[in-house]
Structure 1
Amino acid sequence: MSKIFVVVVATVVILSGEAVEQLCSVKKGSNACICKRITDKQNSIVTEADCGRIDLETFPDQAQLVQDLNFLDLSHNNIANLDPQTKFSSVTLQTLDLSYNRITSVGDGFFTSIPNLRKLILRHNDITVLDDDNVFPTPKLLYLDLSFNNIKTLRANIFAPLVQLQVLDLSYNNASLGEWLAETPNSLRVSLGINPNISTLRLDNIGLKDLHNVSFNDYANLKHLSLADNHFTEVPRVPYSVEYLDLSGSGIEVLQAKELSYHSLKILKLERMKMLHSVHHYAFYNLQALEDLSLKNCHNLKEFNELVFGLIRRNTTLALRRLSLSGNGLQTLNSTYRFLFNNLDFIDLTDNPWKCDCDLLWLQEFDNLYRIDNVRCSSPFYLSSKNLFDIVDEDVPSCYPQKYGKKSHRVLIATLILLVLILSSLVAYLIYYTPNWYGKRSRGVGPQSPYSATPTQE
């Protein structure tokens, strides 16, 4: 017993008025403590229990855990089922993390004994179906993460009891889930019963090909929407309240202004879009609140013209503060972006095949670019792989006529004079030394000449 006491005392850490120590109510062996607890030092109440990575195969029952927990971490274990017969209840538990287990099913009413649950994390499990009538009887739940499972179908109105839900993550589930959602025009509200006041919704990689124009009609308070790694070929219609939008990994080929008219949008992510090849003039002009644009790893995008934000002048004011154009096929960038770059806090231009000519050297003014060591030239050949910021005047003499102009002018004039002399000699030769080109003719005054002094005899 004294050895255990020494271990507990040795592991105590004081941080912000709380003590982190071993919790011995769940035992892996007779002399081993396998959970950690965080105790409120002022009230001597255990508020958090960390039981992750201890090879649990079943959900611990009431006798194995201390009372009055606020946070219970059971992640990275081998729990396979959430059985309602488990003798566990808590009126204080607010956060339950069951991620990275082997859960295949959630028993009807399992969460009934946790009435004050606010945050439930079930990501990275093996759930395929949620079709019981009473799966989530937790009206106070604010956050629900079901991502990285294999969910194919959901019971109708399964989320209807979650009247206070603010965050829902259904990302990276079976592709048939997206097909099922696309069948009904207003499936989010009608089929799933998702709270219309929800603020964050993540539907990444669930096989969505399109969404009905009315899909988000009831969600005027939606702020954060992620639709990455789906199969969209055009920008779907989303609520005008959205401030964060992620369409990365989609099959969109062209971006145009008529699809991007969201005046509240602050963060737009357009990454890994293999089919994207064109950004039309004024494509981002209507995004007046845009602060962060990430348009990267789109290898077919070879041009970022000067009018995607409209006409940029010295006095142009935009909300944009972060711009990433890395990993695209860009070769040049118009110098009018100099005015925009002056106001940005972050600029990433790495991993593009830049053509390092006179039109691109203006970028050397911005040595605060992200990873300037990886802004390299692809052409011309003699500058290939050279860092743009290592280029000096001698590397591109044609860009500095004020320095190299006289010498180059002399060479040009001498070349032109030589060409004129050669051309003149060639013309003279053709005229005077190759008469056969013009047929047989006589020169001067002869018998056949109309100017002959001897009259013609008849």
Structure 2
Amino acid sequence: MKSEAFLVFVFFFSVGLIYGEAAETKELENVICKKCNCNADKNIIDCSKKGLKKMFSYDDWAALNETNDSYEELLMDHNNLESIDVQFPPLKFPLKRIILSHNKINKIAKSAFGNLTYLEELDLSYNEMTAQTLKPDIFKGKYSADEYEPIVTLKILRLGNNLLHYLDDDLFEHTQHIQELYLDNNPIQVIHPNIMSAFSDIPQLQVLDLSRNELTDLPSAVFQPVKALRVLNLEGNLFHKIPRTALKYAQNLRELSFDDNPIDDLNDVNAFPSLAKLEKLNLTHIGSLRSIGEGAFGGFPKLTELHLSNNHHLSFIHPDAFQFPEQDDDNRTQWAPVKKLFLNNNNLTTLESNSFITWDDMNEIHIHDNPWLCDCNLNYVLKHLMPIINKTTPHLIEHIQCAEPSVYAGHKLMDFKASDFEFRCMDKYNAHPERDSALLVALFLGIILGMPLTCACILIYQRLFRPKQGAAKYSRAFYKRADMQDDMHI
């Protein structure tokens, strides 16, 4: 009897224990997904803007591991996180992307991401990280016989909009496979040697963003350790001169951005070095840029896309700015094979027809919103380029207008599409021949109307203001004294 009672007790105790564990597991499973939006169909755990103040615990992640759901992306941006004080545990699902931007993070635990064997992108931008708190140990990974505790899979690291003045020399010693590094909007005013030392640990780097860091110059060898660099963003800094020596080491560049820098006029002294593989160049919103001289872009034999727009003082581009000698024959000239040309919103008045020989091959030509001088030098644009623009970007053609001469001011170039129409050349002395007919008519009318008016004035003057003569004075007008001879004979 006692044994049967004991068996009943054991049975109910076991059942209670099982149900208790199940209930506890069920509760743990919902901790993360109760606070966040877990979308297994899109493989996203969305914790954005949830007011989170601390990271999830080991138990929270362990419970999520028990599900069969798979997630590749974790969004934890726009919260109130101040630190990442716990490690991410090993996860059964392939978490590849973690977004921790727009928080207040100023401290990260050692090996915080070391257990994430699928992690490819980590976004720590818009936080309060400093060089003192951003240490190499943060990125420690698993043991490897070939590398020093690496996170082999991490390819993209975003550190923009933090408080970084410099970088730890060994910051990337555990993340040597990084291909994209974003350091934009940090107070990095000078590229210190420790930054260059840090770059030496990421030889596979292809994209580097150093925009808006108040840089005025670059060390000559800054890009020497990152020979694979393909995209370089230097916009929004304080460059007055092109860092030619530094760029010479970036021979694999495909894309270069210098937007919004106080760059002086580009000429043979202040020009780009030869970059044989460069395909895209951005030089926009540069208020100090007024002219581009001969050969300024002569080192870009593969340049296919040029953004040279919104430079409101740029009024002159030398017709030979894009020419360079052929590699096999210095006596022969070739031009950059530009396919997309953006020259809009500048202060250009004319455009030389021989600036490019690839006009017909262009996919886009943006020359709108410039104060064009509609004289004979613009006939090439009128006859040859306008049909191309009308075909490729017809929505912009109405914004191509004449500013001078005054007779055409405000007229759209598309208004002069008659096949036999041509703009006249301006006078040698900058006169306005288009006004000649009006001046001649005015002069002729002045002469015709002026002659009778002059005669009338003379007659009125004689009648009203000429003094009257008496009879004696009038008679003496006909008196002539006789000649007197020596003999007094008349």
- Residue by residue over 1:347-398, the C-alpha shift from the partner in whole angstroms, topping out at 9 and shown as x without a partner, is 1112212122232133233234241121222222333333222236699876
- Do structure 1's residue 26 and structure 2's residue 32 form an aligned pair? yes
Deviation at 1:411, TM superposition (A): 7.2
Instruction: Give the match's secondary structure for 2:208.
Output: strand
**Residue number among 186, 202, 221 corresponding to 2:209 in the alignment:** 202
With normalisation by structure 1, the TM-score equals: 0.71
Instruction: Give the match's secondary structure for 2:114.
Output: helix
**Residue number among 233, 236, 255 corresponding to 1:226 in the alignment:** 233
Structural mapping, 1:154-193, within 5 Å: 154-174=167-187, 177-179=188-190, 181=191, 183-184=192-193, 187-191=194-198, 193=200
Contact 1:70 1:95 in 2 (8 A): no
Deviation at 1:136, TM superposition (A): 1.7
- Residue by residue over 1:223-249, the C-alpha shift from the partner in whole angstroms, topping out at 9 and shown as x without a partner, is 111111111222112211111111112
Higher radius of gyration, 1 or 2: 2
| Cα distance in 2 between the residues matched to 1:300 and 1:395 | 34
Deviation at 1:332, TM superposition (A): 0.8
| Cα distance in 1 between the residues matched to 2:338 and 2:307 | 11
Contact 1:372 1:389 in 2 (8 A): yes
Deviation at 1:56, TM superposition (A): 2.6
| Cα distance in 2 between the residues matched to 1:273 and 1:361 | 29
% identical equivalent positions: 23
**Residue number among 256, 259, 262 corresponding to 2:272 in the alignment:** 259
Whichever structure has more strand as a proportion of its residues is 1
Contact 1:57 1:77 in 2 (8 A): no
- Residue by residue over 1:379-437, the C-alpha shift from the partner in whole angstroms, topping out at 9 and shown as x without a partner, is 2233333322223669987639xxxxxxx9x979x99xx9xxxxxxxxxxxxxxxxxxx
**Residue number among 305, 311, 318 corresponding to 1:305 in the alignment:** 318
Counterpart in 2 of 1:6? none
Contact 2:136 2:172 in 1 (8 A): no
Alignment size in residue pairs:
369
| Cα distance in 2 between the residues matched to 1:398 and 1:115 | 68
Instruction: Give the match's secondary structure for 2:181.
Output: strand
| Cα distance in 1 between the residues matched to 2:423 and 2:200 | 66
**Cα RMSD between the aligned structures?**
3.4
| Cα distance in 1 between the residues matched to 2:230 and 2:100 | 26
Alpha-carbon distance change, 301 to 194 in structure 1, aligned in 2, over 3 angstroms:
farther
Further displaced range: 64-73 or 269-278: 64-73
- Do structure 1's residue 286 and structure 2's residue 299 form an aligned pair? yes
Counterpart in 1 of 2:283? 270
| Cα distance in 1 between the residues matched to 2:324 and 2:111 | 59
Counterpart in 2 of 1:53? 49
Counterpart in 1 of 2:109? 107
Instruction: Give the match's secondary structure for 2:189.
Output: helix
| Cα distance in 1 between the residues matched to 2:335 and 2:84 | 58
Alpha-carbon distance change, 398 to 143 in structure 1, aligned in 2, over 3 angstroms:
closer
Whichever structure has more helix as a proportion of its residues is 2
Deviation at 1:302, TM superposition (A): 0.5
Letter in 2 for 1:155: D
| Cα distance in 1 between the residues matched to 2:217 and 2:166 | 18
- Do structure 1's residue 150 and structure 2's residue 163 form an aligned pair? yes
Further displaced range: 348-357 or 380-389: 380-389
Contact 2:107 2:134 in 1 (8 A): no
- Do structure 1's residue 357 and structure 2's residue 338 form an aligned pair? no
Counterpart in 2 of 1:246? 257
Instruction: Give the match's secondary structure for 1:254.
Output: coil
Mark the runs of 5 or more structure 2 residues left unpaired by the alignment.
1-28, 142-149, 326-332, 426-433, 445-490
Contact 1:59 1:79 in 2 (8 A): no
| Cα distance in 1 between the residues matched to 2:201 and 2:387 | 48
Alpha-carbon distance change, 241 to 411 in structure 1, aligned in 2, over 3 angstroms:
closer
With normalisation by structure 2, the TM-score equals: 0.67
Counterpart in 1 of 2:98? 96
Alpha-carbon distance change, 135 to 72 in structure 1, aligned in 2, over 3 angstroms:
same
| Cα distance in 1 between the residues matched to 2:289 and 2:103 | 38
